[in-house]
Amino acid sequence: MNILVVGGGMGGTILANNLARRLSSELKAGKASITMLSASDKHMYQPGLLYVAFGKMSPDELYRDQVSLLESSITFRVDPVTKFNLKENNVVTESGKQYDYDIIVISTGSRTHAEGTPGLAENACQFYTEADALKMHKTLQNFEGGKVVVAVGVPHKCPMAPLEITFMLADYFRERGILDKVQLHYTYPIGRVHSLEAVAKWAQPEFDRLGITYETLFNMKEVTPDKVISEEGTEAEYDLLVTVPSHKGMQVIEDNDLGAGGFIPTNRTRLNIEGYENAFVIGDTTNLPISKAGSTAHYEAETLAENIASTIKIGTPVRDYDGKVFCFIEAGEGKATYAMFNYQNPPDPKEPTKGIHWFKTAYNKMYWASARGLL
Amino acid sequence: MSERKLVDAKNTFCPGPLMELIGQMKMAEIGDELEILSTDQGSANDIPEWINKVGHEMVDTFENEGVWHIVVKKTK
């Protein structure tokens, strides 16, 4: 039984490690194998980029060697897939090698697509890559006051990022002693300040308290050097533009016609690709209408690993993915809260506390245990 | 050729039906129809509000066994 994991991010890594432990006897006996194909020999802790943008983490804290995170029974290759032949149960890689499989899990992730909005990439700060986060930090350091607009594309990775970046901007300018010279203006695509109603009800009064203005039903259409023009016909002038840009799935998914926008049609409970019983998708790569977040990938990976192992051992999956998501929310002023929800139960975020902020700060270090499947 | 695409956003809270629709509309072709399924009653109000504000076309809205079916057409 050859299991192929394509993608070495959070979802793929947790799944492979979880599966390796569940199938340890089968792996030792040569009755099963797990191979991971990735585009990089490094593993990045992506949520840390938000802190890099504010100079609160350094880039070297975000990386580990991928092989150091994996169970030794997993075969790891830096050889990205270029061709998926799902009907023939094989993939072809950049090196030209063909990998046959019995079960495949695709967890290639997503990427920013700022270039999809004219003028956005040239004019806005963003923080979804190391280079962009460092550039944003330098831009913030040189900013002495004016109107700061936060603009959000759809879909985007990490649903809490728009709120977090706004509260952290307020903190940053307060710490520099120039908050009174800054007007923070938050825009959001739908008719309230966050997609989760309970979070929106908490955040809006916080904006009012902090003097942060906001405009909802604001979707970026075009960006010029001094203003953002919305699909809805309004404009927001800025001196500094910070964006959570829209995202797409990876190019290889689009090139193989596996899903529009690079997101693969996925069964919401079994996590298989629609039409295939031995091909699965986790993390940002799915087209599921749920949060694109590390925790989503984590919970999907745990469910799928259990189901793949049980299918090999007893011939059937044993549980459904229930849509579970858990997101920390940095609330500024040294406090944080969280939102936890699934397909059936909406979130009920509590009042932000310093304790949760410190737990989130600790998680920035504990993540590596999580990726190894120990947490 | 124009087509109708089903967007199943039942029992999802984040990003939610309207955000899901906005993302799907960006990928759709002009003339395409999208039918979004939602168990959030608020969708029956906020989706038409956004559609009208942006200038797309509302085609149909109906509720069946607790699921809202909201059909829209991309016009620009």
Tens-digit pLDDT profile for residues A151-172: 999 999 989 999 999 999 999 9
**Shared-domain flag, residues A18 and A41:** yes
Q: Tell whether A325 is covered by a domain.
A: no
Q: Which amino acid is residue A99, in one-letter code?
A: Y
| Burial zone of A21 (CB within 10 Å; 0-12 exposed, 13-18 middle, 19+ buried) | middle
**Contact (CB<8Å) A291/B15:** yes
**Shared-domain flag, residues A214 and A287:** no
Q: What is the pLDDT of residue A348?
A: 85
Q: What is the pLDDT of residue B43?
A: 83
Name the domain boundary from A196, A214, A246.
Answer: A246
Q: What is the pLDDT of residue B1?
A: 53
**Shared-domain flag, residues A161 and A125:** yes
Q: What is the pLDDT of residue A170?
A: 97
- Closest CA in chain A for residue B51: A232
Q: pTM for this structure?
A: 0.94
> CB distance from A290 to chain B under 8 Å?
yes
Q: Tell whether A343 is covered by a domain.
A: no
| Average pLDDT of the segment spanning A280-304 | 96
**Shared-domain flag, residues A12 and A96:** yes
What is the Cα–Cα distance from A176 to A142, expressed in whole angstroms? 11
Name the domain boundary from A227, A246, A265.
Answer: A246
Name the domain boundary from A246, A265, A292.
Answer: A246
For chain A, the domain total comes to 2
Read off the pLDDT band of A349 (50, 70, 90).
confident
Question: What residues in A contact B22, CB-CB < 8 Å?
Answer: 154, 189-190, 219
pLDDT tens sequence across A93-137 = 999 999 999 999 999 999 999 999 999 999 999 999 999 999 999
**Shared-domain flag, residues A13 and A83:** yes
**Shared-domain flag, residues A238 and A214:** yes
Q: Tell whether A258 is covered by a domain.
A: yes
Read off the pLDDT band of A296 (50, 70, 90).
very high
> CB distance from A340 to chain B under 8 Å?
no
- Alpha helices in chain A, H assignment, sequence order: 10-22, 24-28, 49-52, 66-69, 120-123, 130-142, 161-175, 197-210, 251-255, 294-314, 354-371
**Shared-domain flag, residues A103 and A133:** no
Q: How many CA atoms lie within 13 A of A48 on its CB side?
A: 21
Q: Tell whether A346 is covered by a domain.
A: no
**Shared-domain flag, residues A64 and A159:** no
**Shared-domain flag, residues A303 and A216:** no
| Average pLDDT of the segment spanning A290-316 | 96
CATH H superfamily, domain B4-73: TusA-like domain (3.30.110.40)
**Shared-domain flag, residues A238 and A142:** yes
**Contact (CB<8Å) A325/B14:** yes
Concerning whether B14 is annotated as a catalytic residue, the answer is yes
Mutation site, B5, B8, B10, B13, interface A, largest A CB count within 10 A: B13
Q: Is the pLDDT of residue B41 over 90?
A: no
**Shared-domain flag, residues A219 and A260:** no
Mutation site, A231, A254, A286, interface B, largest B CB count within 10 A: A231
Q: What is the pLDDT of residue A350?
A: 86
Q: What residue numbers bound the domain in which A155 lies?
A: 115-246
Q: Tell whether A357 is covered by a domain.
A: no
Which has the minimum average pLDDT: A13-22, A81-90, A348-357?
A348-357
Q: How far is B46 from chain A (nearest CA, A)?
A: 7
Residues 93-152 of A with CB under 8 A from B: 116
CATH number assigned to the domain comprising residue A274: 3.50.50.60
Q: What is the pLDDT of residue B40?
A: 85
Q: Is the pLDDT of residue B2 over 80?
A: no
Q: Tell whether A120 is covered by a domain.
A: yes
Exposure class string for A85-120: b at 16+ Cβ within 10 A, else e: ebeebbbebeeeeebebebbbbbbbbbbbbebbebb
Q: Is the pLDDT of residue B64 over 60?
A: yes
Read off the pLDDT band of A373 (50, 70, 90).
confident
pLDDT tens sequence across A55-94 = 999 999 999 999 999 999 999 999 999 999 999 999 999 9
**Shared-domain flag, residues A169 and A62:** no
Question: What residues in A contact B54, CB-CB < 8 Å?
Answer: 219, 231-232
Catalytic residue among B14, B55, B65, B76: B14
Q: Tell whether A369 is covered by a domain.
A: no
Structure tokens at A282: 């986790």
- Alpha helices in A60-185, H assignment, sequence order: 66-69, 120-123, 130-142, 161-175
Exposure class string for A154-182: b at 16+ Cβ within 10 A, else e: bbbbbbbbbbbbbbbbbbbbeeeeebeeb
**Contact (CB<8Å) B8/A232:** no
In this complex, the residue of B8, B16, B27 whose CB is nearest that of residue A190 is B16
What is the Cα–Cα distance from A94 to A90, expressed in whole angstroms? 14
Helix/strand/coil percentages in chain B, nearest 5: 30, 35, 35
Q: How far is A19 from chain B (nearest CA, A)?
A: 28
Q: What is the pLDDT of residue B3?
A: 72
Q: What is the pLDDT of residue B42?
A: 80
Q: What is the pLDDT of residue A55?
A: 96
DSSP letter, residue A57: S
Q: Is the pLDDT of residue B45 over 90?
A: no
In this complex, the residue of B20, B26, B53 whose CB is nearest that of residue A217 is B53
Whether complex ipTM tops 0.90: yes
Read off the pLDDT band of A292 (50, 70, 90).
very high
Residue pointed to by tokens 């759809």: A154
Q: How is chain B split into domains, by residue range?
A: 4-73
**Average model confidence (pLDDT) for chain A?**
96
> CB distance from A257 to chain B under 8 Å?
no
